[in-house]
Amino acid sequence: MTTGTNADGELGYGAVAKALHWGMVVLIAAQFIVAWEMPEIEWGTEPERLINLHLSLGALLMLLVFFRIGWRLRHPAPPPLPGTPPWQRWAAGSTHLALYALLVVMSVTGWAASSARNWPISLFGAGTLPSLVPEGTKLGFKAGDLHADRLSWVLLGVIGIHVLAALYHHFVRRDLVLRRMLPWRSR
C-alpha cells in the first residue's frame, strides 16, 4: 500500500489516511471554537473548564499529528493526477508541509505556555504530560503569545488555502483531487 492506492486499488487515500484527515479537521475546528470561547488568559488566570478542554484537545491533536506524520511516511500520498502542472504539485506539497509544521509548532508552543503557567496538561484525565519548560519561564510566556496571537492566524490562513485549493479542483478543474480524500467511496 505504499504506491498511493487504497485497499480498493483506487488512486486515492486509504481509510486510515481519510479517518486521520477528517478526525483532525474536527479536532482543529473544535480547538478554534473552544479557544474563541475561553476566557482571556492574563497574569494569574487559572485553568477552568474551557481552558482544560483546550489543553486536552491539544494533547490529543498533538498525538494525532505525530501519528499522522508517521503514517504518511510509511504510506505516501497517491501520485498527482495526470496533467497536474509542476507548480501545483509544489504548492500542494508545500501547503501540506506547512500544515504539519504549524500543527507541531502550535502544539509545542501551547505546551510550553501551559508549562510556564504550571497548568497540567492531561489527555482528558488519562495521565499528565511533563512540563516542557520550568514554571514562570519567560520563553514559555513568549511561546503562549506566539501560539495565540500569530500562529493561530497563520494556521487558519494555510487551512483556508488548502480548502480553497480543494474546492478549485472540485468545482473549476472538475478533477478527482477532493474526491480522493472524501470519507465515502469516491468512484
In tens digits, the chain (187 residues) has pLDDT values of 333 554 444 568 999 999 999 999 999 999 999 999 999 888 888 899 999 999 999 999 999 999 999 999 999 999 998 989 999 999 999 999 999 999 999 999 999 999 999 999 998 888 899 999 999 999 999 999 999 999 999 999 999 999 999 999 999 999 999 999 998 864 4
Q: Are the C-beta atoms of residues 48 and 120 closer than 8 Å to each other?
A: no
Round to whole Å and give the CA distance between 112 and 129: 11
Q: According to the model, what pLDDT value does residue 85 have?
A: 93
Q: Which residue has the cell 477552568?
A: 48
Of 4, 167, 158, nearest to 91 by C-alpha is: 158
Q: According to the model, what pLDDT value does residue 44 have?
A: 85
As given in the structure block, the three cell numbers for residue 155 are 494556521
Q: According to the model, what pLDDT value does residue 185 have?
A: 61
Q: Which SS3 state, helix, strand or coil, does residue 9 take?
A: coil
Q: According to the model, what pLDDT value does residue 12 have?
A: 83
pTM over 0.85: yes
User: 15-173, which class in CATH?
Assistant: mainly alpha
Q: According to the model, what pLDDT value does residue 74 have?
A: 96
27, with CB counted inside 10 A (0-12, 13-18, 19+), is middle
Round to whole Å and give the CA distance between 35 and 51: 8
As given in the structure block, the three cell numbers for residue 135 are 514554571
Q: According to the model, what pLDDT value does residue 141 have?
A: 96
